[in-house]
Amino acid sequence: ILNVEQSPQSLHVQEGDSTNFTCSFPSSNFYALHWYRWETAKSPEALFVMTLNGDEKKKGRISATLNTKEGYSYLYIKGSQPEDSATYLCASYNAGNMLTFGGGTRLMVKP
């Protein structure tokens, strides 16, 4: 059974603060790492799919890095806004045709 872990579980920041959180995943038989942003009562929204060691991806104020050798990915949000409040999920594709999800980081941005 694969174990994907995210930390912290929850995070409260002030508007304008930059923040980051971590996803750790098994490095063996690794294929891809997916990040999603999930607001309550909405569909999880795909942010990034990352495959190569050293990958960096950016979407607006959100960026992510990938280290496949040590099995971790960081998600960064620059200048957090209240609309960034959501749960951020990572999911790893290792051997087997299935995504294994972490428990998510719940971000709350106070105005």
Partner 1 sequence: EPEVTQTPSHQVTQMGQEVILRCVPISNHLYFYWYRQILGQKVEFLVSFYNNEISEKSEIFDDQFSVERPDGSNFTLKIRSTKLEDSAMYFCASSDPGEGKQETQYFGPGTRLLVL
Q: Please give the residue ranges that form the binding site for partner 1 (CB under 8 A).
A: 4, 31-32, 34, 36, 41-46, 49, 51, 89, 91, 93, 96-104
Closest separation between CB of residue 85 and partner 1, Å?
18
Nearest CB to partner 1, comparing residues 74 and 101? 101
Which of 84, 87, 89 shows the shortest CA–CA distance to 100?
Answer: 89
Closest separation between CB of residue 46 and partner 1, Å?
4
Going along the chain, which residue ranges are E strands?
Answer: 5-7, 10-14, 19-24, 32-38, 45-50, 56-59, 62-67, 72-77, 86-93, 99-101, 105-110
Closest separation between CB of residue 7 and partner 1, Å?
14
Nearest CB to partner 1, comparing residues 91 and 107? 91
